[in-house]
């Protein structure tokens, strides 16, 4: 297979102007474009991570609830099964605790905009969670004793608009480059 060179493009070969002098060919402009798209991609990734962190915490919580229910259901009828479920549960809880510690470290990074609350899985009956104590990683690591969250849209928007002190506002840079692209 032959390698494709810039000289192989008729569009570039038949031009009478030097393409190296065009704005998009200048190293500073190319570097600015790379920075612009990197910042835009990073902002998109932060939004995705905020969702995924909440989904992960919800999975960990639901996993805890399922193990708790399995143990309490079989403790009288099937002690060997209960013993095995309990040992697996203990192992998983240590892993979950390590994951939550990493998420807590992530929450201390500059620019973190998510939260460390577990959610409610679609199709999961919330009544199944009643009268079940919270996992140790929720109470000890996250400091959550009970969850009763109520907020309105205006409060949520105001919280999201707050930026930590010393944080660089990349939105200004992105908007500037988008305005330049319009011209």
In this predicted structure, what is the pLDDT of residue 87?
92
pLDDT reported for residue 56 = 93
Interacting residues of 177 by C-beta distance below 8 A, sequence separation 6+:
32, 33, 36
CA dist 116 and 141 (Å) reads: 11
Give the per-residue pLDDT at 180. Answer: 59
Distance (Å, rounded) from C-alpha 100 to C-alpha 144? Answer: 13
CB proximity list for 29: less than 8 A, separation 6 or greater: 23
Greatest mean pLDDT range, 34-43, 133-142, 153-162: 34-43
Chain segment 117-131, per-residue pLDDT in tens = 888 888 888 888 888
């Amino acid at each position: 297979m032959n390698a494709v060179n810039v000289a192989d493009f008729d569009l570039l070969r038949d031009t009478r102007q030097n393409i190296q002098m065009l704005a998009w060919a200048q190293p500073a402009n190319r570097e600015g474009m790379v920075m612009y798209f990197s910042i835009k991609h990073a902002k998109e990734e932060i939004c995705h991570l905020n969702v995924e962190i909440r989904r992960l915490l919800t999975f960990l919580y639901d996993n805890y609830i399922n193990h708790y229910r399995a143990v309490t259901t079989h403790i009288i009828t099937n002690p060997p099964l209960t013993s095995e479920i309990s040992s697996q549960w203990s192992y998983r809880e240590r892993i979950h605790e390590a994951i939550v510690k990493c998420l807590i470290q992530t929450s201390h990074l500059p620019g973190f905009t998510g939260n460390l609350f577990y959610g409610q899985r679609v199709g999961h009956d919330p009544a199944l969670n009643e009268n079940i104590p919270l996992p140790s990683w929720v109470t000890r690591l996250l400091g959550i004793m009970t969850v009763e969250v109520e907020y309105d849209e205006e409060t949520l928007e105001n919280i999201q608009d707050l930026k930590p002190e010393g944080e660089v506002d990349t939105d200004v840079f992105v908007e500037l480059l988008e305005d330049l692209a319009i011209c």
